[in-house]
Amino acid sequence: MTKEDIVAYVANLARIHISREEKEFLEGQLTKILDYIGKLKELDVEGVEPMSGFRLSHNITRDDVTKQSHVREDILRNAPNREGDYFKVPKVIE
């Protein structure tokens, strides 16, 4: 299957219409991807254990820190109707 056929096939699967210019651009992108995969195939991975997934040995999340926020007033400013610090809506439950 040629790169042009692959691009047309994927566009058909995605149910999108692509112009001739887009098709040529995507063929170029596909060529770059396949060339990179070719470079990866040249790597010597002898003795490297396969990974079943990616897991860090330490936690990289940050500590939760509270801080003042003035977003509430910005949000309430957009409310069509408000009462104090709350949105005022019509009663929906009887």
Instruction: Write out pLDDT tens, residues 31-71.
Output: 999 999 999 899 998 998 887 777 777 777 888 888 887 78
Q: Is residue 39 part of a domain?
A: yes
pLDDT of residue 59: 74
Provide the CB-side half-sphere exposure for 88 (13 A, CA). 7
Q: What's the angle, vertex CA 50, arms to CA 48 and CA 52, rounded to 5? A: 150
Predicted confidence (pLDDT) at residue 28 exceeds the cutoff of 90: yes
**Residue type, position 10, single letter:** V
| Residues 50, 54, 59, 64, Cα dihedral to 10° | 180
Number of domains in the chain: 1
Q: Is residue 24 part of a domain?
A: yes
Question: At 13, is the pLDDT very low, low, confident or very high (cuts 50, 70, 90)?
Answer: very high
Q: What is the mean pLDDT of residues 71-89?
A: 87
Q: Is residue 35 part of a domain?
A: yes
* Nearest of 33, 26, 5, 31 to residue 18 by alpha carbon: 26
Q: Is residue 26 part of a domain?
A: yes
Q: Is residue 10 part of a domain?
A: no
Question: Which helix (H) or strand (E) is 77 found in, with range?
Answer: helix 71-77
pLDDT of residue 38: 93
pLDDT of residue 94: 76
Q: Is residue 23 part of a domain?
A: yes
Predicted confidence (pLDDT) at residue 18 exceeds the cutoff of 80: yes
User: What is the domain extent for residue 27?
Assistant: 19-43
pLDDT of residue 74: 84
Q: Is residue 5 part of a domain?
A: no
Q: Is residue 66 part of a domain?
A: no
- For the chain, the straight-line distance linking the first and the last C-alpha, in angstroms and rounded, comes to 65
